[in-house]
Structure 1
Amino acid sequence: MTTETVPAPGTAPVDGEALLQVDALVKHFPIRQGLLQRQIGAVRAVDGVAFTVRAGETLGVVGESGCGKTTTGRLLVRLLEPTAGSIRFEGRDITHLSTGAMRPLRRDIQMIFQDPYSSLNPRHTVGTIVGAPFRLQGVKTEHGVKKAVQELLELCGLSPEHYNRYPHEFSGGQRQRIGIARALALRPKLIVADEPVSALDVSIQAQVVNLLDDLQGELGLTYVIIAHDLSVVRHVSDRVAVMYLGKVVELGGRDSLYHAPLHPYTVALMSAVPVPDPKRKQQRERILLTGDVPSPVNPPPACRFHTRCWKAQEICRQVEPPLRELRSGHLVACHFPENEPSPG
């Protein structure tokens, strides 16, 4: 018989080898109104996310706009304070560390931002931007900061001569490479990349994705890559987490998830990925979800996808499905999953 593992709601199995362990992570943004600014509600951006990331692997996080991907990424690097849950890095609980206590950890945890135009200070030169981590952390280098910065620029596909130039002198792809160089300055162990190629031309996206892949192999990096482009995620990820309205609805290995997705929402997402083969395109059924994405201020009860799901039944409106393991390493939160393995 097929073994089904049902962890506690919103928790991930304990993994002693995990570099990053996230359990029941919650972030609610309060909605205030009136002269006294009383709270009248909350935007439930992240509502019980759980996963682990092992050293050297890449976890892709996908989903529609507004599903909580970016908020999750900012929580992981502690740019936002979690409402509840826990984040453990190398076994250490960093969930509510103060700014001062987080400062030493900034060497090990870095972020690549989505927009290479707004994430770089236009008044600073490239040398100042990429060299900032050395100065802020008080790190001394063997041949000086300038030499270290020039080596980083070369590592990221830029010229050492760019040291004295300003961000406005570069293209979008080059600016993103500058952002990557800044994130790599102190040789971090974990990099959270928030839509690292979505603001770039299609012709440049592949170059940046390949750069991230090469850097991982060369420096032994661990990535959490947030994206809405399923093709990009498939190319770079070892495992993929699918989010919907603040929750992880499916989590599994790349090949397992892309070839036989279990959650109806994932099936719908996969049906929208462009296929270069005309014959395969004609054979594949395109699934169009009905209705709008519900508001995170007042999400549907139980299964949050039931308002748009073609398989929804009464239990979906009353009982929240737990994230359970249906295949080895492949978890899904659904009462009626697709491509379910037959018992035997």
Structure 2
Amino acid sequence: MTTTHVKPTASKQAGESLLQVTDLTKHFPIRRGLLQRVVGAVQAVDGLTFDVARGETLSLVGESGCGKTTTGRMLTRLLEPTGGTILLEGEDITHWSTGKMRPLRREVQIIFQDPYGSLNPRHTVGTIVGAPYHLQGIKTERGVKAEVQELLELVGLNPEHYNRYPHEFSGGQRQRIGIARALALKPKLIVADEPVSALDVSIQAQVINLLEDLQDELGLTYVVIAHDLSVVRHMSDRVAVMYLGNLVELADRDELYTRPMHPYTTALLSAVPIPDTQRRTKRERIRLEGDVPSPVNPPPACRFHTRCWKAQEICKTEAPPLVELAPRHRVACHFPENAEGPGASDPAGLASSTSPEGSLGAAQEPPA
């Protein structure tokens, strides 16, 4: 049995920024009628601002529909932003054309959530992983086949799998194929959209360890989109919490897990499963009432005030700015929690989960 190793805390964000995002916005128009008039808009992402340092892992977390995947697709320019700016190594790529973006595809790649739907079932593994070389017109000294086989070995697959088809692999092995395809062009930034959510729990730890080993070996920078807060704790340097298209909290991993300040973050962490029954019974479980409001007509001011137990009148009339309430800890809340004093709460009961003994277990994958 293998276990995930917990990523050591690092201050990488103090270094040079690889990616800078300012007021990033994406609204999908709603059209109706014969003339397809615009009658509204789905406010999927509304004013995100953050940066990612070289070699850092930034995780985006939140409920389904909060805009995480839309953000990731804008960062890779698979979606055109409605507003804001995206700077990659200081260059504004926000509205680059498809032709201008082609060389940039070598620098930015994406790992898709579904290892079944993201691979063409009619193509062999060699064709899938070798496609980036042909699309970019890259010539290699040893040939594309040798490069692809080396990539397969790098991600833990047998080079002899070159001529096999996706249906001959397990879910974890298919995700490794997707990772190999993303690594083909030696990118600097990889957006991983729920990279382990579609996998068995026994396989998740293997893929997490693989991604971290590749980061150390190749100097990669990750933006990870995830639901599982236990996985996020193992992989991240910093965590950004999103709610209904807004960024509500951004902090170093350990700081956020031990001292969450936004009520929404506190509620999320209180829902993290804990195997230790004694610790589980001692913590307070916060259950949010009501459903997530529609992004077509979000609540005014603070979008979380309709479900927040601390909401007051100002929350309904004035949107809280994202301000730094502690070193490298930014929060958008009028009445933040744990904002004063050195004492740190641990609503998720995860403070003692930083040792390998508290990590996820994983069984070995069966051969294809």
Contact 1:22-1:50 within 8 A present in 2 as well: yes
Say if 2:162 is the partner of 1:163.
yes
Report SS of the residue matched to 2:153. Answer: helix
TM normalised by structure 1 equals 0.95
Contact 2:322-2:330 within 8 A present in 1 as well: yes
Per-residue deviation, 1:15: 8.4
Say if 2:51 is the partner of 1:65.
no
Per-residue deviation, 1:342: 3.5
Contact 2:30-2:39 within 8 A present in 1 as well: yes
* 1:45 equivalent in structure 2: 44
The amino acid of 2:151's aligned partner reads L
The amino acid of 1:63's aligned partner reads G
Q: 2: CA distance between counterparts of 1:173 and 1:216?
A: 19
Contact 1:15-1:52 within 8 A present in 2 as well: no
Report SS of the residue matched to 1:265. Answer: helix
Q: 1: CA distance between counterparts of 2:340 and 2:227?
A: 27
Say if 2:300 is the partner of 1:304.
no
Q: 1: CA distance between counterparts of 2:202 and 2:341?
A: 42
Q: Return 5+ residue gaps in structure 1 as ranges.
A: 1-13
Could you list the per-position Cα deviations for residues 222-243 of structure 1 after superposition, in whole angstroms to 9, with x for gaps in the alignment?
0000001001111000000000
Contact 2:15-2:53 within 8 A present in 1 as well: no
Where in structure 2 are the equivalents of 1:112-127 lying within 5 Å? Answer: 112-127=111-126
Report SS of the residue matched to 1:279. Answer: helix
Report SS of the residue matched to 2:227. Answer: coil
Count of residue pairs the alignment pairs up: 330
Q: 1:116 to 1:160 in 2, by over 3 A?
A: same
Q: 2: CA distance between counterparts of 1:192 and 1:229?
A: 16
Report SS of the residue matched to 2:30. Answer: strand
Q: 1: CA distance between counterparts of 2:167 and 2:336?
A: 49
Q: 1: CA distance between counterparts of 2:274 and 2:331?
A: 25
Report SS of the residue matched to 1:302. Answer: coil
Could you list the per-position Cα deviations for residues 180-222 of structure 1 after superposition, in whole angstroms to 9, with x for gaps in the alignment?
0000001100000000010111101111111001100010000
Per-residue deviation, 1:341: 2.0
Moved >2 Å (runs of 4+)? none
Where in structure 2 are the equivalents of 1:15-30 lying within 5 Å? Answer: 17-30=16-29
Q: 2: CA distance between counterparts of 1:331 and 1:298?
A: 26
TM normalised by structure 2 equals 0.89
The amino acid of 2:123's aligned partner reads H
* 1:193 equivalent in structure 2: 192
Could you list the per-position Cα deviations for residues 97-151 of structure 1 after superposition, in whole angstroms to 9, with x for gaps in the alignment?
0000000000000000000000001110000000001111111112100000000
Report SS of the residue matched to 2:69. Answer: helix
The alignment yields a C-alpha RMSD, in angstroms, of 1.2
Could you list the per-position Cα deviations for residues 3-51 of structure 1 after superposition, in whole angstroms to 9, with x for gaps in the alignment?
xxxxxxxxxxx98821000000000000000000000000000000110
